[in-house]
Amino acid sequence: MKIAVIGGGIAGLTAAYRLHPHHEVTLFEKSDRVGGNAFGYRTRDGVEVDIAVAAFGMAGYPNFYRLLDELGVETAMCPNSYMSFHDLDTNSGIYMPTTLAGFLAQGLSALRPSKVWKLARLPVGLARAQHLREQGLVDGKTLRELLAMVPEFTGDTRTILLCALCLLSSMSIAELLDAPARFFLEKLAHHHDVISPKAFYSVRAIKKGTQAYVQALAERIEGCVRLGTGIRSVLRAAGGVTLVLETGEKLHFDRVVFACPADAALRLLDAPTEDERRLLGAWRYKDGRVVLHRDPAPFPPRALVQAYTFLFRKGPDGEVAETSVNGALWYEPQAPDTCDYFSSQYPNFDLNPALIEFETVLRTPVFDFTSVATTKRLPELNGVQGTYFCGSYFGFGLHEDAVTSALAVAKALDAEKRA
């Protein structure tokens, strides 16, 4: 079959890669690069860095790791990679460095029982929250309501949890607090090696950066990718599918795979079905500013900076109200120890313009009660009028969900061909 794949992120690349041996595939990407949120960048001094997605827990990414093995892409442990939390207003925080330098930089505060207790409360609170979930006591409740139900989730422990969830979801703290508690507890149960000591040995990064697997997938479908190609609409009829490009060109295919955000897919469909309107229309996306820079001023001393350092501010009630997610890129395995770049998502601090090298906007889904309610029914859209869908929104919003849903689409299309 002639199959069009719309979207060059990990879902589209995986679907095209799997379909390519048995079908005539064309992948359309409106930007000038493939990879989506796997965003590799070469700095002015020649350092290859990942400014968005960078590390993956082995517990929650089985299909993704199998894909890496199949592609021959190597991963590396991140032994010094964990999290630190820095209050921008008080210039103090909670630091979890794994080096002697980091330990010494904290002085006597590193030995305070209160600090150890704050960290110990987190797994206790998570266990209590998961027990509530298993009993069905968090159904219909927001994350804010869950936090009120768990006595351990107060103060600095609450700050740690909310900042970590911002990392795992690309959502703001305000959005998280109004989101469904069950969704995030199920996400943490599935990815149980992230907010855990297991992260020290279970979370890995791509040895040569995420572009290693992006390029490996692109090479296997070489000649089938059209970059910088915008699509105006998708028309469906009994004879197949027609893509109308922004140039006005019309291309005919037997099937189409939407591997783009749900809202984009709905906009492209010329005559969406009622189910497509309802299930795809439930999804909202947000534009997230990501800045690559070398400005250390807002951060604690380098010895206290971890792979993910959260710079937060508290509200009038003393609770954490906002945070930025900041990657210290010298922890990436392909970057040298002398690297001094940060990647800041949703920066909530002033940056020296002279120290900004690059910035972009990445779109991510918002998981709220309306969107999460559609997840289990999304696969029902596949196969209707020669149309299929895949993407991270089919699960928890991560690479694993994009890969898993793409593999399901490829399997269904291969089965359709055999039938």
SS3 291: strand
SS3 26: strand
The answer for residues whose C-beta is within 8 angstroms of residue 247's C-beta and 6 or more apart is none
**pLDDT over 60 (residue 146):** yes
Alpha-carbon gap, residue 4 to 56, rounded angstroms: 29
pLDDT band at 101 (very low <50, low <70, confident <90, very high): confident
Mean pLDDT, residues 255-277 taken together: 98
Alpha-carbon gap, residue 123 to 157, rounded angstroms: 10
pLDDT band at 417 (very low <50, low <70, confident <90, very high): confident
Alpha-carbon gap, residue 62 to 283, rounded angstroms: 26
Alpha-carbon gap, residue 389 to 280, rounded angstroms: 10
pTM of the predicted structure, to 2 decimals = 0.94
**pLDDT over 70 (residue 159):** yes
SS3 323: strand
| Bridge partner list, 93 | 86
The pLDDT value recorded for residue 113 is: 59
The pLDDT value recorded for residue 258 is: 98
- pLDDT tens-digit map of 47-92: 999 999 999 999 999 999 999 999 999 999 876 667 899 999 999 9
Please choose, from the candidates 382, 377, 367, 370, the residue with its C-alpha nearest in 3D space to the C-alpha of residue 415: 382
The pLDDT value recorded for residue 109 is: 64
- Which has the higher per-residue pLDDT, 177 or 417? 177
Alpha-carbon gap, residue 189 to 184, rounded angstroms: 9
Please choose, from the candidates 2, 21, 50, 62, the residue with its C-alpha nearest in 3D space to the C-alpha of residue 214: 50
Where are the extended beta strands (E) located within 259-411?
284-293, 308-314, 320-328, 342-345, 356-366, 387-389
Where are the extended beta strands (E) located within 275-345?
284-293, 308-314, 320-328, 342-345
**pLDDT over 60 (residue 111):** no
- pLDDT tens-digit map of 329-366: 999 999 998 999 999 999 999 999 999 999 999 999 99
Q: How is residue 281 annotated by DSSP?
A: T
The answer for residues whose C-beta is within 8 angstroms of residue 148's C-beta and 6 or more apart is none
Q: Which of 17-26, 71-80, 165-174, 406-415 has the lowest mean pLDDT?
A: 71-80
**pLDDT over 90 (residue 105):** no
Domain(s) labelled CATH 3.50.50.60 in the chain stretch across: 2-38+211-284+368-418
| Sign of the C-alpha dihedral computed for residues 137, 141, 147 and 149 taken in this order | negative
Alpha-carbon gap, residue 174 to 159, rounded angstroms: 13
* CB half-sphere exposure, 244, CA atoms < 13 A: 10
The pLDDT value recorded for residue 344 is: 98
**pLDDT over 70 (residue 409):** yes
The pLDDT value recorded for residue 42 is: 95
- Which has the higher per-residue pLDDT, 83 or 13? 13
Query: Under CATH, what is the fold of the domain 2-38+211-284+368-418?
Result: FAD/NAD(P)-binding domain (3.50.50)
**pLDDT over 80 (residue 118):** no
